Every structure is written in C-alpha cells, then in structure tokens.
C-alpha cells in the first residue's frame, strides 16, 4: 500500500497520516490522500476499485485508509440494498425514486461505515481506548466495533437521546456518559477527555479524517447497483454532514477514474427545529451560524454545530459545488414520511432517516425537481432505534377478551362490510 497523507482543506498544508484531527497550521478540516492518483494515470487499473475476495465495505480497501489487512475490524457492514420505491414514488409524484437502505447495517445505522474505518485505524495506531461524542447511532457503532476489536470505549451522549440507542450502547459494553444539553456539549466534552486522557477520538463529524472515507463506499456500491448510472439527485439527512461529504467524494473519485461522466446533485436534508445548513443555503450564505434551541424529533441530525461551525461550511460548500440544495422539513412531515416508508415500502426507519424522503417530497411538491429525474434517498437508520417515539405515536389498543365474539366485533369495527 502506498503512503497516506493528510491535506488541509483550508490552507493546503500536507502532513503525514498520523493521529491528527484538524490542521496544525490553521485548524482546518483534513482530507486523506492516497499514494496513487485516482485517475488511473499512474497505473491504477479501474477494475482494482473492487476486490471480490472481500465482503461489503472492505471490497474497496484500496480506497480506504487502513494499511494492513490484520487491522481491519468488520461486522459485515456495507453491501446494503438500493431499492426502487415505486409505491412511495407514485404518492410523491416521482417516477424514479430509490431508497439506499442503511437500516440493514449491523448496528442499525449507516454509522457502521465511518466507524468500521475509524476503529480499524485506531487499532492501526495502537490505541487501546477510543472515545466518541454521539447523538446515539455513532455511539452504538463505536461500542460495537470497539467490542469486536477488544478496545475500551467511552461514548458521550446527550442524556435525552432515544432510549433504544442508549440501551444498545450499554449492551455492547461501552462506558456511556450522558451529558446534559444538546449534542454540541457532548462533542466539546469528548474533545476535552480525548486530549486529557490520550484516547483516540472516533467522533463521526469531520474531526476524524479517516471515518468519512468509510461513507464514500456508499457511492461505489450505488455505482454498481445502478449499473454505472449516476442518479440526478441524492438526498441525505445531515447533521455536520460527513455522510454527504463522503458520498460526494466517492462520486468525484469515480469521475476522476473515468468511470462516470457526471456528478450527482447533493441535497442536504434537515429538520426545521435544527437546520443551520439549510438556513445558510436559503439565505445565500457560504458560512453557517450555530443553531440556537434544538426542537425536533429527528435526534440523529440534532446538531447545532456550536464550536465547529466549519463542519457546516464545508458540507455546504460540497452542496453548492454539486449544484444541489439544502432544505428542511417539519416534524409532522418527518413523522408522516416515516409512516409512508413503512406502510408503502416495508422500510421501517427512525425519524431522522425519514428526513431525506420528506425533503424529496417537498422538492417534488415545490417543483424543484422533474418527475422523471432519478432520486436516491438515504435511509440512514432503523425504526428499532426510535421505539419509544413510535410507541407514543401509535399506542396499542386495550386487549380483547379471548372470545370469538370479541374478535368478530373487532374485525367489524375495522371493516363493517366484512360479512359475519
């Protein structure tokens, strides 16, 4: 494997790929560079994109920053379905709607991709303890991969995170540290603890430059699943936005390899109650303001970006470069879409994951997209992550007596036209 380097996205300074987070010189976000050029000019055959002897995400190991095979930590992540959603598409007025179903990942969210890479890299650096700040899903992923790698794991989470996510983290055996206030508080405290105790920080914002490389494997998979076609639009629920950054990077690499000729337009999807990126986009700004009070059910994207605003700026830059947009939707629209995804497509996702399809619905309703454009919505996490929210939303009826009369009466209440 060729030598990896890190390049600052702001000042361009290059450094050796070490346990670095932000740029030493200017504090900018770092990007991984590989020892080959992805355009194939210096001899990388295109067929090397994929190694068929490996599974899932690790098929693409040549484009991932883990140098030695024995350091790879895997729970069989990746290789998720890309499904055509014709019933939902019809309801939204979209003829070519697809769902990239990340609810199927080992811990139930796409965070397994960035985390598999970050934990493998932590192992490569010889770390014995990792730490993450998370709204829940990245914490569950870090806890699971740390368990598989035999590392100690601390997860700093907002105390109000969904019960299912907090439970999952504890069952994987991580030290869970609930912190009051919103996600940015957990982020700041994890920075402090990582520095003070020398733990490796695998937080999945743009802080750890290795994790975002895992996100880009989604593009490689979709490239195959769409038989080398590029979708017109990709709609992604975003917090800080590394998922969007990674997917866009993946497509850029495919283009520079000459495998595709156009790039998708990237859409950042947020909830009205926490939408710093959508607000900046709407106002035509290139820099975001941190969000004030967070008020949304979409816990996975409840990131006010306080103290690391440049993450939002960086994501916004990719959205604009791609000719895309950033939009937000209300909690009512999100909840209705979560029900539609489940009842029309059989895809049970957490509220945060429904934000993308809710934004696609808005794009269609507002004429921002043609009916015949191809749109992929990322469905980023499982409905099992939001059991408490959905149980409150759809309360169970009182139990029936175990009698035939009670059953008949119940059925007739559902459909009075059924004959006795």
Contacts of 192 (CB under 8 A, 6+ apart): none
Quick check: 10 binds Zn ion (CB under 5 A)?
yes
CA separation for the pair 232, 391 (Å, rounded): 36
* Closer to Zn ion by Cβ: residue 26 or 287: 26
Contacts of 36 (CB under 8 A, 6+ apart): 2, 42, 43, 44
CA separation for the pair 218, 99 (Å, rounded): 12
How many CB atoms neighbour CB 109 within 10 A? 29
CB of 137 to ligand PLP, least distance (A): 3
Quick check: 33 binds Zn ion (CB under 5 A)?
no
Quick check: 25 binds Zn ion (CB under 5 A)?
yes
* Closer to Zn ion by Cβ: residue 207 or 230: 207
CA separation for the pair 288, 305 (Å, rounded): 9
301 binds, among Zn ion, ligand PLP, none (CB under 5 to 8 A by kind): ligand PLP
374 binds, among Zn ion, ligand PLP, none (CB under 5 to 8 A by kind): none
Quick check: 22 binds Zn ion (CB under 5 A)?
no
Angstrom CA distances, 85 to 91, 105, 285, 372, 399, stand at 10, 19, 34, 14, 35
* Closer to ligand PLP by Cβ: residue 64 or 236: 236
25 binds, among Zn ion, ligand PLP, none (CB under 5 to 8 A by kind): Zn ion
* Closer to ligand PLP by Cβ: residue 65 or 268: 268
Would you say 357 and 83 are in contact if contact means Cβ atoms under 8 Å apart? no
* Closer to ligand PLP by Cβ: residue 328 or 380: 380
Strand boundaries in 46-186, DSSP class E? 82-84, 96-101, 129-133, 152-158, 175-179
344 binds, among Zn ion, ligand PLP, none (CB under 5 to 8 A by kind): none
CB of 8 to Zn ion, least distance (A): 3
Residues that bind ligand PLP (CB under 6 A): 109, 111, 137, 204, 237-243, 300-301, 350, 352-353, 380-381
* Closer to ligand PLP by Cβ: residue 121 or 216: 216
Strand boundaries in 163-306, DSSP class E? 175-179, 200-201, 233-237, 265-271
* Closer to Zn ion by Cβ: residue 14 or 388: 14
Single out the residue of 1, 2, 3, 11 in contact with Zn ion (rule: CB under 5 A). Answer: 11
11 binds, among ligand PLP, Zn ion, none (CB under 5 to 8 A by kind): Zn ion
Single out the residue of 21, 28, 100, 184 in contact with Zn ion (rule: CB under 5 A). Answer: 28
SS3 306: coil
Scanning 28-36, 44-52, 136-144, 258-266 for contacts with Zn ion by CB under 5 A, the matching segment is: 28-36
Contacts of 370 (CB under 8 A, 6+ apart): none
Would you say 207 and 30 are in contact if contact means Cβ atoms under 8 Å apart? no
Would you say 66 and 145 are in contact if contact means Cβ atoms under 8 Å apart? no
Quick check: 26 binds Zn ion (CB under 5 A)?
yes
The tokens of 376 are what? 């992929």
Scanning 11-19, 213-221, 298-306, 367-375 for contacts with Zn ion by CB under 5 A, the matching segment is: 11-19
352 binds, among Zn ion, ligand PLP, none (CB under 5 to 8 A by kind): ligand PLP
Scanning 9-17, 43-51, 272-280, 388-396 for contacts with Zn ion by CB under 5 A, the matching segment is: 9-17
137 binds, among Zn ion, ligand PLP, none (CB under 5 to 8 A by kind): ligand PLP
The tokens of 366 are what? 């507002």
Rg (C-alpha) for the chain, rounded Å, is: 22
Quick check: 14 binds Zn ion (CB under 5 A)?
no
CA separation for the pair 375, 360 (Å, rounded): 8
Residues within the interface to Zn ion (CB under 5 A): 8, 10-11, 13, 23, 25-26, 28
């Amino acid at each position: 494997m060729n030598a990896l380097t890190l390049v600052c996205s702001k000042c361009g300074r290059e450094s050796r790929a070490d346990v670095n987070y932000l740029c030493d010189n200017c504090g900018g976000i770092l990007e991984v560079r590989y020892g080959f050029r992805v355009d194939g000019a210096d001899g990388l055959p295109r067929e090397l994109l994929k190694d068929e002897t490996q599974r899932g995400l690790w098929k693409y190991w040549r484009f991932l920053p883990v140098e030695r095979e024995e350091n790879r930590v895997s729970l069989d992540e990746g290789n998720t379905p890309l499904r055509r959603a014709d019933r939902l598409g019809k309801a939204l007025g979209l003829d070519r709607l697809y769902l990239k179903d990340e609810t199927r990942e080992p811990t139930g969210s796409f965070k397994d991709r960035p985390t598999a890479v970050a934990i493998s890299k932590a192992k490569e650096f010889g770390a014995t303890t990792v730490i993450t700040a998370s709204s829940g899903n990245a914490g569950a992923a870090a806890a699971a991969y740390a368990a598989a790698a035999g590392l100690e794991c601390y997860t700093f989470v907002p105390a109000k995170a969904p019960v299912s996510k907090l439970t999952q983290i504890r069952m994987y055996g991580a030290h869970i540290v609930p912190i009051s206030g919103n996600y940015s508080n957990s982020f700041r405290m994890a920075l402090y603890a990582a520095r003070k105790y020398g733990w490796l920080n695998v937080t999945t914002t743009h802080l750890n430059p290795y994790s975002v490389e895992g996100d880009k494997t989604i593009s490689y998979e979709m490239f195959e699943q769409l038989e080398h076609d590029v979708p017109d639009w990709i709609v992604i629920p975003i917090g800080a936005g590394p998922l969007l950054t990674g997917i866009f990077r993946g497509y850029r690499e495919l283009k520079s390899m000459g495998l595709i000729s156009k790039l998708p337009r990237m859409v950042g999807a947020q909830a009205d109650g926490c939408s710093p990126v959508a607000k900046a986009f709407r106002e035509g700004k290139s820099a975001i303001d941190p969000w004030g009070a967070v008020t949304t059910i979409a816990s996975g994207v409840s990131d006010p970006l306080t103290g690391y605003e440049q993450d939002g700026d960086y994501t916004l830059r990719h959205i604009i470069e791609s000719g895309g947009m950033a939009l937000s939707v209300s909690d009512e629209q999100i909840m209705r879409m979560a029900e539609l995804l489940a009842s029309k497509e059989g895809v049970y996702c957490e509220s945060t994951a429904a934000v993308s399809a809710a934004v696609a619905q808005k794009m269609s309703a507002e004429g921002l997209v043609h009916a015949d454009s191809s749109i992929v919505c990322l469905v980023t996490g499982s409905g099992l992550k939001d059991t408490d929210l959905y149980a409150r939303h759809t309360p169970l009826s009182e139990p029936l007596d175990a009698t035939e009369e009670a059953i008949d009466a119940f059925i007739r209440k559902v459909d009075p036209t059924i004959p006795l």
